[in-house]
Every structure is written in C-alpha cells, then in structure tokens.
Structure 1
Amino acid sequence: MASVVTPLQKIHETAIIEKGAEIGKNVVIGPYAVIKHDVVLGDGCIVGPHVVIHPYTTIGKDCKFFPGASIGSVPQDLKFKGERSYTVIGDRGVFRECVTVSRACGEGNETRIGNDILMMAYTHIAHNCIVGNNVIMSNVATLAGHVVVEDRAVIGGLAAVHQFCRIGRNAMAGGMSRISQDIPPFMLVAGDPAFVAGLNSVGLARAGMPLEVRTQLKKAFRILYRSGLSLEEAVATMEQELDSSEPVEHLMRFLRNAERGIIHTRK
C-alpha cells in the first residue's frame, strides 16, 4: 500500500492504493476498494466498497462509484495483446453498483466518457466507446465496442447496442431495445429489432430546445420517415425545406455519415 492520507482524504484502512496512483483532495475511498497504478482520481470523488479502478484510468472531479464497480479493466476483446491504452472519464459522473467500463484496444487509444453521466446498476461500456455529456444508461444497458453516444442520449434498461453504432444527440432508446444501426439525433426508438417510434419530443422540451427548432425537427422527421425518399434524397430535401439551425445542421451531418445505416420505422 503506497497511499499518503492527508486531512483532505478519507481512505479506509482496508483500501489498497498502489504506488503510482494520484489521489486528489477531498476524496473518500471505502472498504476493500482497489486503486491500481497509473490511476488519476480527481478531487471530490467518492469510491465505494469493493470498487476497482484499473491502470491507465483518468477520472475527473466529483465522480461517485458505488459498490462493486470495475472501471478501466482490460477489454473483453481477443485482439487485445496487453498494449497500453486508456480510460478517460469526465466530471460528476455517477457509476452505480457493478458498473463495468473497459479500456480501449490499440496502443494509445481511449475509451472516453464525458461529464455528468449516470450509469445505473450493471451497465457496461465496452472498449473504444466514446460517450458524451449528460448521458443516462438505465440498468443493464450495454454498449459493445467502438459505439459512439452523443450528448444527452438516454438508453433504456436491458437495451443492447451493436459495435460501431452511433446514438445521436438527445435520442432515446426504450428498454430492451436491440440496436444494430445508428439512431439519428432527437429520435425515439424501441423494440427488438429497434424501430423509430417518433421524435423524442418530451426529451427535447425537457432539454430546453426552443419550440421553433422542435417544429423544424418534426418536419425533418416527416421528410426522413414519411416521405418514402431515400436517405440521400431526404437529406437533400431537408437542405431545401428546413430553416437552418444548429440542431438541424447536426442532424443532417449525422445522416450523411451513417455508415451502418439508420434505424427505420415499422413497415
């Protein structure tokens, strides 16, 4: 044990902190927690009992880790050969019981998680994922490798996301959804396989998006899913018919880069 306890730290006597870990101020570390070497733990973090924070993990300020969480473990990928890769987590994240986060595959690569995330119990973020700010993952939701989740997305309980998929900004995936293609920003999906049920209107209103922008996004939804146009034709039509705004431009940019294709409505 190589920790140095200062008056600004509260570290339980059974916790193990390896040499080379950097522990910030006003940190609480509970019984039997393990902080491995080459971990940076920011000010104000709370690490609960039996949490393990693995090497090459950097954590911002005021994060909370509940009992049994495993953060920054080696990836569950047969391609991994022990190379040095990283996990980077922002500020004010909440990681509930038995959450698992894997570090990246590939020398120098990162699994990256933003600020103000809420990961409920037993959720999993796999290697090389990029997760934005204010994301919520409900119980047992799972991201496979290389998934990108944009800001303010919500992923329901027991939902599973296929590798390399993207979840757009302010999108919501209902519980037990099976997601194998991209979810465009601002959309609501559900089902197995997942289908687009409509615009995430309630989520957009709660996020404070202006009514005039929401109106334009409703038009975008109708062009994309009700017009019978191909994806390329729908984007071209949006360019002609919609008032320009940052959310509309973001939606079109997302659609232009949908390499896996996008989730569709029910036929």
Structure 2
Amino acid sequence: MRNSIISPKAIIGTNVHIGNFSTIENDVVIGDNSWIGSNVNILSGTRIGENCQIHSGAVLGGIPQDLKYKGEYTLLEIGNNTIIREFVTINKGTASKGKTIIGDSTLIMANTHIGHDCLIGNNCIIGFNVGIAGEVIMRDWANISGLSAIHQFSLIGEHAMISGMSRIVKDVPPYVLASREPLSYCGLNTIGLKRRGFEVNKISELKDIYRIIFQEKRNTTHALNLIEENFQRTIERDNVLNFIKESKRGIIKGNID
C-alpha cells in the first residue's frame, strides 16, 4: 500500500489487498477478500462487496455527469464476486434513483463507462470500451460486446447478447441475439441459453414466440394477444410479454429472413 491514501473513516473488510498509489475516501465500504489494484480511486458513497477485483486506474463512485445533480447524497453499490477491469469509471446515483447498482458476479472490461443511476444485474458481461449512459437497466445474464454505446433510459433484457460496435437506442428484449445497424433481432442467444441449461424445447418455444412478434403484420399488440392465446403461461413467455408491454422506448426491429 505504498503511498496509498486510505481514509480512517473507510470500512475495510478482512484480507483486503490495496495496491500502491490508490485513494479510498471516507464513507467507503469494501467487503472481505476483495482485491484493489494500484492507482484506483474509490470515492465517497461507494459500497463494494466481497471477493471483488478492482483493477488499475478504475474510478468508482464519481460525481454524476448530469447537470441535474446538485450534490445530494447518493451511492454506488457493487455486489459480490464482481470484476472491474482497468480504467473503468462508474458514477454514483442522482436524486432520480439515489444509487447506481452493479450486481453479483458481473465482469466489466477495460475502459467502460457506466453512468448515474444505472442498474446492472447479476452475471452480466460488459465488453471493453462500452459507453452506458444514465439510468440504463441491464438485467441478469445480459452480455454487451465491446465498443457499444447504450442510450440513456434503455432497457436490456435478461440473457440478451448484443454484438460489438452496436448503437443501442431501442430496448433489447430478453433471450435474443441483437446485431446489425440499425440494431435488430437476429435470432435467439442460443449458445448462451444452452450454456445456462435451457432445454431444446424451451429454446424452440422462445423462437416461436419471437417469430410471431417480428413477423406479425398488424401491430405488436396483436402479436402479444396471439402469444397469450396460443402459448401456455411460463416464466419465459411472461418475461417476454411483460418486457414488451413495459417498454417505453420501443423494442428493436426484427430481422427474420
């Protein structure tokens, strides 16, 4: 910990490594067995769980880059077993939601920025140089490939996979693979679903659901009604229906050949 600055008001768990030239301000909590690299800045209002890795150059809990922020007390909360790589910046919340949240077992690769009041779920992967604007919601197991940019207030569904260099300005429904420009539905995230134990019949069910959503010629509301009438109620079916019903930005377009 040579030349590191650690506030006596910070709460540091047991067996925590802190590298050289790092700064840990007051009102910071770091859980047991976490590893903090060199030249890391962990600012007031940051909460880090157990068994986390924070690599060199990261800045956590920075002031929101939002002109509406007036210095109110807000937080950044990071779950357990999460890895934050080099030069990642994550801002704390504003009065809008009060906190930015990063879930458990999530990997955030180098040079990524996550804006104020974002909610990143568990087991997510965020590639290198991804820019995530304020108040984005990214649900569990979502995967954003490198060099992508996500518009503020966007919603990314669980188990969705988005290809690299994507421009995300519409909501991305759960379980899908999204690619191309403009960003479009290109099928299911089949490989990811299989890795997580989804059975073949469940994957087929989801394919049939999305075929109706993106091929229905009338409108999305009619497609949702068809799904409710023709598919048994399951967790996955309801996740898709509820996501689309709750979308405020509208979902990505279909690209079914």
- Measured against the shorter chain, the TM-score band is over 0.9
User: Which amino acid is the alignment partner of residue 218 of structure 1?
Assistant: K
The reply to whether residue 19 of structure 1 matches residue 8 of structure 2 is yes
On the 8 A contact 1:53/1:72 being kept in 2, the answer is: yes
Q: Is 1:93 matched up with 2:82?
A: yes
Which consecutive unaligned segments of at least 5 residues does structure 1 have? Answer: 1-11
- Matched with 1:34 is 23
Which residues in structure 2 correspond to 1:190-229 (within 5 Å)?
190-229=179-218
Distance 1:180 1:152 in 2: 20
Structure 2 residue identity aligned to 1:94: I
Partner of 1:7: none
- Following TM superposition, the consecutive aligned residue runs of length 4 or more in structure 1 with deviations greater than 6 angstroms are none
SS of 1:72 mapped into structure 2? strand
Give secondary structure in 2 for the equivalent of 1:196. Answer: strand
Aligned-partner SS, 1:116: coil
Unaligned segments of structure 2, at least 5 residues: none
CA offsets, 1:3-25, max 9 Å, x none?
xxxxxxxxx13211113100000
| Counterpart position of 1:77 | 66
% identical aligned pairs: 38
Task: Rate the CA distance shift 1:245–1:108 in 2: closer, same or farther, 3 A.
Answer: closer
CA–CA separation in structure 2 for the residues paired with 1:156 and 1:117: 14
**TM-score w.r.t. structure 1 length?**
0.93
TM-superposition CA deviations, 1:12-43 (whole Å, max 9, x none): 13211113100000100000011111000000
Residues 1:185 and 1:229: Cα distance change in structure 2 (over 3 Å): farther
CA deviation after TM superposition for structure 1 residue 108, in Å: 6.9
Partner of 2:228: 239
Question: Paired residue for 1:56?
Answer: 45
Partners of 1:132 and 1:149 within 8 A in 2:
yes
Alignment map for 1:125-204 (pairs within 5 Å): 125-204=114-193
- Secondary structure of the residue aligned to 1:233 is helix
TM-score, scaled to structure 2: 0.96
Residues 68, 97 of structure 1: 8 Å contact kept: yes
Letter in 1 for 2:30: L
For 1:262, the equivalent position in structure 2 comes to 251
Deviation for aligned residue 1:64? 0.1
